[in-house]
Amino acid sequence: DSGVTQTPKHLITATGQRVTLRCSPRSGDLSVYWYQQSLDQGLQFLIQYYNGEERAKGNILERFSAQQFPDLHSELNLSSLELGDSALYFCASSVFADSRSSGNTIYFGEGSWLTVV
């Protein structure tokens, strides 16, 4: 158990809908990352928050948005869903903002399986 908690574990929704994925980081971790894993794209970095502020942005679509709340949990909102958005979405957390910091290991949650039908 990595200590990173993601909900829901599985989600099936229709095209055009909107969903929210939730993540609670490990206790003491200030940084939260979101990754998408799909068969054709592999593991892709979406976005990172550190202590409530957006820190880095990757290949995140405009239909997707995220935020990190004062209690450090994070939500990833996916809207106007398309079939191609079906994927495993991972949340990860670390203590520091920057993985160059000594001891800054990034731990991943179990993922949220999203199926768009």
Partner 1 sequence: AQKVTQAQTEISVVEKEDVTLDCVYETRDTTYYLFWYKQPPSGELVFLIRRNSFDEQNEISGRYSWNFQKSTSSFNFTITASQVVDSAVYFCALYTGTASKLTFGTGTRLQVTL
For binding to partner 1 (CB under 8 A), which residues are involved?
A: 2, 33, 35, 42-43, 45, 48, 55-56, 58, 88, 90, 92, 98-100, 105-111, 113
Q: How far is the CB of 20 from partner 1 (least distance, A)?
A: 20
**What residues have CB less than 8 Å from 86, skipping those under 6 apart?**
38, 114, 115, 116
Nearer to partner 1, 11 or 107 (CB): 107
Q: How far is the CB of 77 from partner 1 (least distance, A)?
A: 20
> What's the CA angle centered on 57, arms 2 and 49, to 5 degrees?
45
Q: How far is the CB of 4 from partner 1 (least distance, A)?
A: 9
**Is the Cβ–Cβ distance between 21 and 88 less than 8 Å?**
no
Nearer to partner 1, 80 or 99 (CB): 99
Classify the C-alpha dihedral 40-90-85-44 as positive or negative. Answer: negative
Nearer to partner 1, 33 or 64 (CB): 33
3-class DSSP state for residue 42?
A: strand
Nearer to partner 1, 70 or 103 (CB): 103
Q: How far is the CB of 65 from partner 1 (least distance, A)?
A: 18
Write the DSSP symbol of residue 39: T
